């Protein structure tokens, strides 16, 4: 039976406020009024207050209906639910006595729930019905007012006993109608804003969930691509060097007893191939480092990279940098990787003897230029340019621009521009 008390109300705080409002109405049922007060409109001597149990049941039923809103039901069910709330409101009116005063808070609760159930067009219809009900209740009240010493009050005659005129009564009724109309507009706008905010939060949460899924997919794809790149690099460089070294060592074994000079020559080649394989392994490990800068500035890290490249490849590098302000860590790491990948391509494919690297800072962007005097190639016929593709993707991820120009026997020229607004 516990499921009966589980609420599907989308806004628990709003439900609790409704209950507080109805609870205050219930408390006033038991507050006695002076017998000779003109606020006591329908007291019957000898019988007390009429139908208090019926009013109590109407209020409790309306409160219980808030636990089960037909949010995901058909429009007909929602309309019946709203009509039931209006019937409960009018029940307190027809039960008579001072219980008619609970019609207004109960009517507001029905309007609030209707705003949660219907779109704007239907909400306006419910608000119009509620306002019409209030006006009808107001007219009924004008016909029932009976001050002390008068059997019946007609709105066309003055209240001589109380000094209230017909104009004053009409003014009070008009103000009540205007005030209740403003309250309905406020409730309509407040609940509309609450629903819009709730919907925005739900959409934002869904968007964040999709972004997390996309980020995971991209991360897995990037990891797979990086593994494939490293596998190809190891196969093309280290695998080739080790295979060639194995052949040279077999030649050493073959010529060891026949021609020691040839054996020594093959042994020297095997040693050179071993050094190349070791250098390729070191380069691969350096590529896998999470933080290539390791606490250095970008200029210092690039200077160290170019010096190591010159030492291992004997390719001269002309490096210049003009950076006036510190570069964010992520952007500096990306620029380091771009230069590293460019130098890797030079050492593997260009057969160049000189490389020029120029890193400058302009007003709104960083500019990186890498040029070599190698054999060049036709970019449209390049089918093995995974490194160049990775450089372009890394640049575009930072919102930058990647340009490549190369021709056979004319070297390769790369220009990269990254906006500083992307920081």
Domain boundary among 164, 182, 216: 164
Return the bridge partners of 7, or none: none
Q: Is residue 71 part of a domain?
A: yes
Look at residue 160 in the predicted model and tell me its pLDDT.
Answer: 44
- Reply yes or no on whether the pLDDT at 98 is more than 60: no
CATH of residue 372's domain is 3.30.565.10
Residue 5 CA to residue 217 CA, distance in Å, equals 42
Is the domain of 11 the same as that of 154? yes
Q: CA gyration radius for the chain?
A: 43
Distances in whole angstroms, Cα of residue 65 to Cα of each of 26, 74, 99, 116, 124: 16, 17, 20, 13, 22
Look at residue 385 in the predicted model and tell me its pLDDT.
Answer: 56
Residue 144 CA to residue 147 CA, distance in Å, equals 10
Residue 402 backbone dihedrals phi, psi, to 5 degrees: -120, 125
Residue 364 CA to residue 375 CA, distance in Å, equals 34
Q: Is residue 287 part of a domain?
A: no
Residue 316 CA to residue 369 CA, distance in Å, equals 16
- Reply yes or no on whether the pLDDT at 100 is more than 80: no
Averaged pLDDT for residues 134-149:
65
Distance of CA 168 to the CA centre of its chain: 56
Look at residue 6 in the predicted model and tell me its pLDDT.
Answer: 63
Q: Is residue 333 part of a domain?
A: yes
Domain boundary among 164, 180, 214: 164
Could you tell me what percent of the chain has a pLDDT over 70?
Answer: 79
Averaged pLDDT for residues 175-204:
88
Polymer length in residues for the chain? 423
Averaged pLDDT for residues 118-144:
85
Q: Spell out the alpha helix ranges (H) of 145-239.
A: 166-233
- Domain with 115, as residue range(s), is 2-164
Q: Is residue 136 part of a domain?
A: yes
Following DSSP, what letter does each residue of 65-94 receive, concatenated? Answer: HTTS--TTS-HHHHHHHHHHHHHHHHHHHH
For the segment 374-419, what is each residue's pLDDT rounded down to a tens digit?
998 888 776 555 678 878 888 888 888 999 999 888 899 999 999 8
Residue 216 CA to residue 222 CA, distance in Å, equals 10
Q: Is residue 95 part of a domain?
A: yes
- Reply yes or no on whether the pLDDT at 97 is more than 60: no
- Reply yes or no on whether the pLDDT at 358 is more than 70: yes
Look at residue 49 in the predicted model and tell me its pLDDT.
Answer: 43
Highest mean pLDDT among 147-151, 201-205, 236-240, 417-421: 201-205
Look at residue 369 in the predicted model and tell me its pLDDT.
Answer: 94
For the segment 253-310, what is each residue's pLDDT rounded down to a tens digit?
888 888 888 888 888 888 888 887 887 777 777 666 656 677 788 888 899 889 888 8
Averaged pLDDT for residues 147-174:
54
Average pLDDT for the chain: 78
The secondary structure element, H or E, covering residue 392 is helix 386-397
**Strand, coil or helix: what is 296?**
coil
Look at residue 141 in the predicted model and tell me its pLDDT.
Answer: 67
Q: Is residue 89 part of a domain?
A: yes
Look at residue 380 in the predicted model and tell me its pLDDT.
Answer: 79
- List of residues 6+ apart from 192 with CB closer than 8 A: 115, 120, 123
Could you tell me what percent of the chain has a pLDDT over 90?
Answer: 14
How many CB atoms sit inside 10 A of residue 248's CB?
20
End-to-end CA distance of the chain: 58
Q: 266, 356, 366, 379: which is closest to 326 by C-alpha?
A: 366
**Strand, coil or helix: what is 49?**
coil
Provide the domain count of the chain.
2
Residue 107 CA to residue 90 CA, distance in Å, equals 9
Domain boundary among 125, 142, 164: 164
Q: Is residue 276 part of a domain?
A: no
Distance of CA 235 to the CA centre of its chain: 43
Averaged pLDDT for residues 296-325:
87
pTM (two decimals): 0.46
Could you tell me if 68 and 91 are in contact, meaning their C-beta atoms sit under 8 angstroms apart?
no
Residue 279 CA to residue 283 CA, distance in Å, equals 6
Q: Is residue 351 part of a domain?
A: yes
Residue 27 CA to residue 416 CA, distance in Å, equals 76
Confidence band of 39 (pLDDT split at 50, 70, 90): very low
Look at residue 421 in the predicted model and tell me its pLDDT.
Answer: 58
Q: 378, 377, 419, 372: which is closest to 399 by C-alpha?
A: 419
Residue 401 backbone dihedrals phi, psi, to 5 degrees: -125, 135
The encoded tokens of residue 243 equal: 């295979």
């Amino acid at each position: 039976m516990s499921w009966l008390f589980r609420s599907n109300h989308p806004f628990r705080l709003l439900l609790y406020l409704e209950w507080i409002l109805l609870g205050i109405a219930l408390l006033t049922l038991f507050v006695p009024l002076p017998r000779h007060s003109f606020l006591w409109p329908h007291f019957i001597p000898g019988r007390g207050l009429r139908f208090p149990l019926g009013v109590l049941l109407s209020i409790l039923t309306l409160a219980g209906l808030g636990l089960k809103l037909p949010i995901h039901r058909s429009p007909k069910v929602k309309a019946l639910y709203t009509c039931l709330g209006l019937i409960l409101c009018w029940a307190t009116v027809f039960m008579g006595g001072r219980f008619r005063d609970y019609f207004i808070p109960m009517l507001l609760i029905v309007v609030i729930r209707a705003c949660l159930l219907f779109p704007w067009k239907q909400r306006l219809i419910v608000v119009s019905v509620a306002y019409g009900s209030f006006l009808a209740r107001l007219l009924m009240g004008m016909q029932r007012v009976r001050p002390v010493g008068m059997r019946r009050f007609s709105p066309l005659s003055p209240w001589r006993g109380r000094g209230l005129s017909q104009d004053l009564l009409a003014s009070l009724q008009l103000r009540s109608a205007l005030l209740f109309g403003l309250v309905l507009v406020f409730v309509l706008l407040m609940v509309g804003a609450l629903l819009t905010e709730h919907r925005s939060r739900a959409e934002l949460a869904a968007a964040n969930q999709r972004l997390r899924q996309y980020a995971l997919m991209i991360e897995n794809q990037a990891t797979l691509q990086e593994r494939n790149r490293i596998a190809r690099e190891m196969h093309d460089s280290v695998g080739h060097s080790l295979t060639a070294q194995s052949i040279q060592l077999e030649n050493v074994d073959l010529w060891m007893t026949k021609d020691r000079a040839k054996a020594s020559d093959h042994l020297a080649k095997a040693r050179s191939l071993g050094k190349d394989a070791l250098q390729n392994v070191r380069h691969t490990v350096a590529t896998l480092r999470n933080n290539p800068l390791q606490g250095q500035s970008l200029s210092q890290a690039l200077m160290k990279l170019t010096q190591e490249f010159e030492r291992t490849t004997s390719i001269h590098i002309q490096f210049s940098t003009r950076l006036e302000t510190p570069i964010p860590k992520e952007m500096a790491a990306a620029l380091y990787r771009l230069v590293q990948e460019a130098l890797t391509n030079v050492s593997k494919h260009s057969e160049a003897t000189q490389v020029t690297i120029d890193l400058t800072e302009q007003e709104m962007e960083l500019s990186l230029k890498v040029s070599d005097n190698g054999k060049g190639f036709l970019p449209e016929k390049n089918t093995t340019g995974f490194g160049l593709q990775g450089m372009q993707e890394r640049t575009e991820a930072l919102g930058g621009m990647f340009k490549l120009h190369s021709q056979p026997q004319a070297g390769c020229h790369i220009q990269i521009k990254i906006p500083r607004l992307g920081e």
